[in-house]
Amino acid sequence: MTQTPLMDDADPTRLVAERLHRLRKANGISLRKLAEATGTSASFLSQLERGLTGASTSTLIRIANCFGTSISELFSGVETGQNPVLRRAQRPSLPVMNGQRKMLLSRRPLTHFETYIAEFEVGGSSGDELYTHGDSHEMILVMQGRVRLDLGADSHDLEEGDSVEYATSVPHRVVNIGDGPAEVLFMISPPTSTAKYLDDFRQKGD
């Protein structure tokens, strides 16, 4: 039985899927080659490009890095001239993966930092494994609930209002250890990969 993407024209999942497909085609990279470069499989990437599955944060970072862009650019559909107010319901978001929904807050024309809000279900995490992304300055602030930050060889239990700073080159991940939902703010400066490629890609499409 053929799977049908559960998406509509405004679905951020569709936007991510379309951007990944366009970036891969523009770079002339096959699904097999991209799978080898990102440690995934061609079948998984095919489903991702069709909006049939989601991907963990670490996987999306590896894919974005292959194209010289950032994870935020994969689902940021807002351009300059926009209303400066971003309503909660309008936040661009990634599909839920590992019990985490990650939403982008920072928007163009500001490109010197990336800011996300991540909502974690009970037991949800940023991924099964610790991951790194570039060598930037990252801060997380717990907005709601209780989480554990695995940072290198150390672990830190954090509650609402607690924050931690670290280099993105240090392996890390966040896990919801509370008995209710958790919400965490991520701030990264400078962005851990460049948006230049996608900017050039947009100009070619104008």
Residue 106's Cβ-side half-sphere holds a number of Cα atoms within 13 Å equal to 19
The yes-or-no verdict on residue 113 having pLDDT over 50 is yes
The yes-or-no verdict on residue 168 having pLDDT over 80 is yes
115-139 pLDDT per residue, tens = 899 999 999 999 999 999 888 999 9
Question: Both 71 and 25 in a single domain?
Answer: yes
* pLDDT value of position 110: 55
For residue 54, CA distances in Å to 5, 143, 156, 175 come to 11, 25, 28, 18
The yes-or-no verdict on residue 7 having pLDDT over 50 is no
Question: Both 18 and 35 in a single domain?
Answer: yes
Question: Both 171 and 200 in a single domain?
Answer: no
Domain membership of residue 4 (yes or no) is no
Question: Both 153 and 133 in a single domain?
Answer: yes
Question: Both 103 and 174 in a single domain?
Answer: yes
Largest distance between two CA atoms of the chain: 49
Which of 36-40, 155-159, 171-175 is predicted with the least confidence, judged by mean pLDDT?
A: 36-40
Domain membership of residue 1 (yes or no) is no
Question: Both 92 and 182 in a single domain?
Answer: yes
Domain membership of residue 3 (yes or no) is no
Domain count within the chain: 2
Domain enclosing residue 45, as ranges? 12-77+194-205
The yes-or-no verdict on residue 178 having pLDDT over 80 is yes
Domain membership of residue 38 (yes or no) is yes
84-101 pLDDT per residue, tens = 788 888 887 777 889 999
Question: Both 133 and 115 in a single domain?
Answer: yes
Q: Three-state SS for 139?
A: strand
With cut-offs at 50, 70 and 90, classify the pLDDT of residue 12.
low
Query: What is the rounded distance in angstroms from the CA atom of residue 77 to the CA atom of residue 70?
Result: 13
CATH number (domain holding residue 37): 1.10.260.40
CATH number (domain holding residue 94): 2.60.120.10
Rg over alpha carbons for the chain, rounded to the nearest Å, is 17
What is the model's pTM?
Answer: 0.61
Domain membership of residue 68 (yes or no) is yes
Domain membership of residue 5 (yes or no) is no
* pLDDT value of position 195: 52
